[in-house]
Amino acid sequence: MTEVLWEPTGKPTNIARYLDHLGRFGSYEELWRWSVEDLEGFWASLWDFFGIGSSYETVVRGQMPAAEWFPGATLNYAERALAGDGPAVVARSQTRGPIDLTFEELRDQVARCRAGLQRLGVGEGDRVVAYLPNAPEALVAFLASASLGAIWASCPPEFGVRSVIDRFGQLDPTVLLAVGGYRYGTKDIDRSAEVTAIREALPTLTAVVEVPYFGDPLPDAVGWDHLLGEPAELAFQSVPFDHPLYVLFSSGTTGLPKAIVHGHGGILLEHLKSLVLHHDLGPGDRFFWFSTTGWMMWNLLVSGLCAGAAVVLFDGDPGHPDLGALWDLARETETTVFGVSAPFLMNCRKAGVDVGDQPTIRSVGSTGAPLPAEGFRWVYEQLPDVWLTSVSGGTDVCTAFVGGSPLVPVYAGEISCRYLGAAVEAFDQDGRSLIGEQGELVVTKPMPSMPVGFWGDPDGGAYRAAYFERFPGVWCHGDWITITERGTCTITGRSDATLNRGGVRLGTSEFYSVVESFAEVADSLVVDIDGRLLLFVQLARGAELDDDLRRRIAGELRTHLSPRHVPDEVHAVRAIPRTHSGKKLEIPVKRILTGVPAAEVVSPGALADPGAIEDFEAIARSG
DSSP string, 486-502: TS-EEEEEEGGG-EEET
pLDDT tops 70 at residue 97: yes
Mean pLDDT of 258-277: 98
Per-residue pLDDT band for 390 (boundaries 50, 70, 90) equals very high
The CA distance from 162 to 113, in Å, is 28
pLDDT digits (tens, 9 = 90+) for 428-445: 989 999 999 989 999 999
Task: Among 90-94, 380-384, 463-467, 505-509, name the one with the lowest average pLDDT.
Answer: 505-509
Handedness of CA 444, 151, 296, 333 (dihedral sign): negative
pLDDT tops 80 at residue 446: yes
Alpha-carbon separation of residue 235 from 130, 148, 245, 299 (angstroms): 22, 8, 16, 22
Instruction: Return the CATH fold of 505-622.
Output: GMP Synthetase; Chain A, domain 3 (3.30.300)
Give buried/exposed letters for 238-258 (b at 16+ CB in 10 A, else e): ebbbbbbbbbbbbbbbbeebb
**Kind of pairing, strands 337-341 and 363-367?**
parallel
**Kind of pairing, strands 222-223 and 181-184?**
unpaired
Residue 239 has, within 13 A of its CA and on its CB side, a CA count of: 27
CA diameter of the chain: 70
Q: What does the CA dihedral 275, 237, 173, 466 come to, rounded to 10 degrees? A: 50
Element (H, E) at 618: helix 614-622
Residues 6 or more apart in contact with residue 605 via CB below 8 angstroms: 159, 160, 161, 162, 163, 164, 166, 252
pTM attached to this predicted model = 0.88
Contacts 24+ apart (CB under 8 A), 515-523: 515/553, 515/556, 515/557, 516/346, 516/350, 517/374, 517/556, 518/549, 518/552, 518/553, 518/556, 519/350, 519/543, 520/544, 520/545, 520/549, 521/553, 523/575, 523/576
CATH 2.30.38.10: which residues of the chain? 1-72+409-497
Element (H, E) at 529: strand 521-529
Amino acid 503: pLDDT = 54
Mean pLDDT of 397-423: 97
Does residue 467 sit in helix, strand or coil?
A: helix
Alpha-carbon separation of residue 583 from 239, 326, 438 (angstroms): 35, 21, 21
Mean pLDDT of 570-593: 87
Q: What does the CA dihedral 69, 73, 79, 85 come to, rounded to 10 degrees? A: -90
Amino acid 623: pLDDT = 66
CATH 3.40.50.980: which residues of the chain? 103-275
By percentage, how much of the chain surpasses pLDDT 70? Answer: 97
**Cα 367–369–372 angle (5° rounding)?**
100
Instruction: Return the CATH fold of 103-275.
Output: Rossmann fold (3.40.50)
- Which DSSP symbol is given to 611? G
The CA distance from 591 to 594, in Å, is 5
The CA distance from 356 to 368, in Å, is 24
Amino acid 162: pLDDT = 84
Give the closest residue to 259 by CA, choosing from 416, 458, 99, 25: 458
Amino acid 509: pLDDT = 77
pLDDT digits (tens, 9 = 90+) for 218-243: 999 999 999 999 999 999 999 999 99
pLDDT tops 90 at residue 583: no
Amino acid 439: pLDDT = 93
- Integer-rounded Cα radius of gyration of the chain: 24
Per-residue pLDDT band for 598 (boundaries 50, 70, 90) equals confident
Average pLDDT value over all residues in the chain:
93
Alpha-carbon separation of residue 571 from 251, 575, 619 (angstroms): 26, 11, 9
Note the helical H segments in 229-263.
none
By percentage, how much of the chain surpasses pLDDT 90? Answer: 79
Amino acid 608: pLDDT = 81
Residues 6 or more apart in contact with residue 156 via CB below 8 angstroms: 131, 132, 133, 134, 292, 293, 294, 580
The CA distance from 608 to 248, in Å, is 18
The CA distance from 449 to 64, in Å, is 12
Residues 6 or more apart in contact with residue 3 via CB below 8 angstroms: 373, 377, 411, 412
DSSP string, 259-318: EEEEEHHHHHHHHHIIIIIIS---TT-EEEE---TTSHHHHHHHGGGGGTPEEEEEES-T
The CA distance from 492 to 498, in Å, is 9
Per-residue pLDDT band for 468 (boundaries 50, 70, 90) equals very high
Mean pLDDT of 508-528: 88
The CA distance from 217 to 227, in Å, is 15
CATH 3.30.300.30: which residues of the chain? 505-622
Amino acid at the residue 46: L
Backbone angles phi, psi at 333, to 5 degrees: -95, 0
Amino acid 563: pLDDT = 79
Mean pLDDT of 412-421: 97
pLDDT digits (tens, 9 = 90+) for 183-214: 999 999 999 999 999 999 999 999 999 999 99
Q: Please return the burial class of 189, using the count of CB atoms within 10 Å of its CB with bins 0-12, 13-18 and 19+.
A: middle
The CA distance from 268 to 274, in Å, is 10
The total of other beta-carbon atoms located within 10 Å of residue 22's CB is 14
Mean pLDDT of 547-564: 87
- Which DSSP symbol is given to 372? P
Per-residue pLDDT band for 533 (boundaries 50, 70, 90) equals confident
Amino acid 26: pLDDT = 87
Amino acid 498: pLDDT = 65
Amino acid at the residue 57: E
Give buried/exposed letters for 588-597 (b at 16+ CB in 10 A, else e): bbbbbbeeee
Q: Are 169 and 159 in contact (CB under 8 A)?
A: no
Amino acid 432: pLDDT = 96
pLDDT tops 80 at residue 77: yes
pLDDT digits (tens, 9 = 90+) for 345-376: 998 999 999 999 999 999 999 998 889 999 99
Considering the four listed CATH numbers 3.40.50.300, 2.60.120.260, 3.10.20.30, 2.30.38.10, the one that applies to the domain covering 1-72+409-497 is: 2.30.38.10
Q: Are 613 and 620 in contact (CB under 8 A)?
A: no
Amino acid 590: pLDDT = 86
Alpha-carbon separation of residue 558 from 510, 552, 561, 563, 568 (angstroms): 12, 10, 6, 4, 12
pLDDT digits (tens, 9 = 90+) for 492-508: 877 666 676 655 566 67
Question: Would you give the distance in Å from CA 455 to the centre of its chain?
Answer: 20
The CA distance from 171 to 165, in Å, is 10
Mean pLDDT of 378-386: 98
Residue 561 has, within 13 A of its CA and on its CB side, a CA count of: 27
pLDDT digits (tens, 9 = 90+) for 33-74: 999 999 999 999 999 999 998 999 999 999 999 999 999 999
pLDDT tops 60 at residue 254: no
pLDDT tops 80 at residue 255: no
